Structure 1
Amino acid sequence: MSRLRQYGRGSLLFDVRDEGPVDGESVVLLHGFPQSSAAYDKVVPALHGGGLRTLVPDQRGYSAGARPAARAAYRLEWLVADVLALLDAAGLERAHVVGHDWGGGVAWALASAHPDRVASLTALSTPHPRAMVRSMLNPAQLVRSSYMLAFQVPRLPEAALGERLEAALRDSGLPAPDAARYAALMDEPGALTAALNWYRALPLTRLDVGPVQVPTTFLWGNRDPYLSRSAAERTGDHVEERYRFVELPAGHWLPEREPDEVSAAILDLVGTG
């Protein structure tokens, strides 16, 4: 069986890291903003040791060959379709799905809309979208999410982030080597605008993320500066299958900062799915 290094969807070409036992159960791991597939570098070795195959794509806007210019191209329904195309390219009827940050949003939407393609869901940091929307009534979450509104403005966020992105990522708790790596990725032509377009496409999204009917684990760090307890604790209301909520004494960057806890939660869910 040949390894998948790239896959296409229409005119777009995505990079993907296909590693681990080829005959093991497959796990798709989705990164967030402004990460890359490297976000899971400390997680996948344990998954391979547990006999799992991992597929870790650089998502739309992060793969150089999949960087459309229009913000409408980053609607949630297109991001979900990208993951379905990955499953098809890998010859998989379904896979276990893991998502962090924006990757968590895609994972929730995928599991809700296509439960037949998702064996289990492990969401990292990101609450269910409906829980997130409801939590916006809480002033604490509204303040934490204010950056999302600022990102809607054209061009100014790119100028504001610019050279200070690496320092901002370090200040948010991301390890320095990861901050440098992600900032360098955002220096590629069009990359930062593409990454911000995930936020800018939110008002255009037509996909309503409903209840999830697959086994689900949600890991949330209680020191997360972006995602409040109110959204985290409401997430279980939107899962209709077996559900586990894991609260960690951690910040936002769980794959990079808490890889042992993340990999253990994935292995536990896959083993009992």
Structure 2
Amino acid sequence: MSSSRVTSFSNDALTFDVVDEGPLDGDLVVLLHGFPERASSWRGVTALLNAAGYRTIAPDQRGYSPGARPRRRRDYAMPRLAQDVVALIDTLAAPVHLVGHDWGSAVAWTVAAHHPDMIRTLTAISVPHPEAFLRAMRGRQLVRSVYMGAFQLPKVPELLARRTGGVMDRAMRARGMKPDEVARFRTEIVEDGALPGGLGWYRGLPFSRQSCPAVRVPTTMVWSDGDGFIDEAGVRFCADYVEAPYELVVLEGATHWLPSQNPDDVAAIVRRRVEGSPATVQ
């Protein structure tokens, strides 16, 4: 295990920024953010995990780190996104407890499925296993994912996001973001130039289709019943894609933005998974 702070790592001729906090000799917990957020979305969670003795590693992922913003859609295909995380774990030189939210959850499922030797435990927040998500698209999930089609339009979402208080800001608030989170979206994503890269994850979907095997590491799936993006069906299907100890934890009355809005719950759930204690199963 790396005994010095990791502030960046490289993969695919790109350089990624990393926030490395907590005791250097603590168990490694890697946290993968979603859209449209960066490593800062984990601040509340990492503070609690650090206080409990864990070393947290939160990267700004592909499209978000200033040194890792390729332009081609195919550069955001899932195999490349997953390989970035593999490169990070190689840099850390030890297996990790992997946590992902939103798109970060999709990547975490993929890495855990294809590289179980690198992953000690998995905590997936909001987004289910890729195969479970695809099954759910035959039902109500399709309606909840209509926005993904709009994100395929070149330059249009970027233009809509330019105006403070405009369409994009209102859409974020409508899906549960608080004013401070919308302000962070505007500063860290729009003004910093990370929006095209973040949208690249959606635009890379046509290049991403690959089967994702079952996960064979201890796993917790976390979902909130107030999530406006993810239908419950895909969450319930997840049990079919885990061949290891598995838990589903449902947070009642919470929105999609669990790491920033419910850090106490998320940190406690991660710790229960890491420490092998039972969680409340719904």
Q: Would the TM-score normalized by the shorter structure come out above 0.5?
A: yes
Task: Show the counterpart of 1:211.
Answer: 214
Task: Show the counterpart of 2:108.
Answer: 107
Asked whether the equivalents of residues 161 and 190 of structure 2 are also in contact (C-alpha less than 8 Å), the reply is: no
Asked whether the equivalents of residues 31 and 56 of structure 2 are also in contact (C-alpha less than 8 Å), the reply is: yes
Between the aligned partners of 2:89 and 2:13, the Cα distance in structure 1 is 18
Between the aligned partners of 1:169 and 1:146, the Cα distance in structure 2 is 15
Q: Percent identity?
A: 44
- C-alpha displacement at 1:141, in angstroms? 1.4
Task: Show the counterpart of 1:224.
Answer: 227
Deviations 1:200-248 (A, max 9, x none): 1111115321101000001100111110111111111111100000011
Task: Show the counterpart of 2:146.
Answer: 146
Task: Show the counterpart of 1:66.
Answer: 68
Asked whether the equivalents of residues 189 and 195 of structure 2 are also in contact (C-alpha less than 8 Å), the reply is: yes
- C-alpha displacement at 1:153, in angstroms? 1.7
Between the aligned partners of 1:53 and 1:207, the Cα distance in structure 2 is 32
1:253 aligns to 2:257 (yes or no): yes
- C-alpha displacement at 1:190, in angstroms? 4.5
- C-alpha displacement at 1:76, in angstroms? 0.6
Task: Show the counterpart of 2:135.
Answer: 134
Q: Look up the SS of the partner of 1:127 in the other structure.
A: coil
Q: Look up the SS of the partner of 1:42 in the other structure.
A: helix
Task: Show the counterpart of 1:263.
Answer: 267
Asked whether the equivalents of residues 175 and 256 of structure 1 are also in contact (C-alpha less than 8 Å), the reply is: no
Q: Look up the SS of the partner of 1:252 in the other structure.
A: coil
1:161 aligns to 2:161 (yes or no): yes
1:29 aligns to 2:27 (yes or no): no
Number of aligned residue pairs: 271
Between the aligned partners of 2:192 and 2:47, the Cα distance in structure 1 is 31
**Aligned residue identity for 1:207:** Q
Between the aligned partners of 1:85 and 1:129, the Cα distance in structure 2 is 21
Alignment of 1:162-181 (within 5 A): 162-163=162-163, 164=166, 165-181=168-184
- C-alpha displacement at 1:272, in angstroms? 1.3
Asked whether the equivalents of residues 174 and 256 of structure 1 are also in contact (C-alpha less than 8 Å), the reply is: no
RMSD of aligned C-alpha atoms?
1.4
Between the aligned partners of 1:227 and 1:107, the Cα distance in structure 2 is 17
Task: Show the counterpart of 1:187.
Answer: 190
When residues 176 and 231 of structure 1 are mapped into structure 2, their CA distance, relative to the original with a 3 A threshold, is same
- C-alpha displacement at 1:10, in angstroms? 3.7
**Aligned residue identity for 1:260:** D
Gaps of 5+ in 1: none
Between the aligned partners of 2:120 and 2:33, the Cα distance in structure 1 is 19
- C-alpha displacement at 1:109, in angstroms? 0.3
TM-score (norm 2): 0.92
Q: Look up the SS of the partner of 1:162 in the other structure.
A: coil
**Aligned residue identity for 1:231:** G
Between the aligned partners of 1:176 and 1:190, the Cα distance in structure 2 is 20
Q: Look up the SS of the partner of 2:210 in the other structure.
A: coil
Task: Show the counterpart of 2:280.
Answer: none
Q: Look up the SS of the partner of 2:44 in the other structure.
A: coil
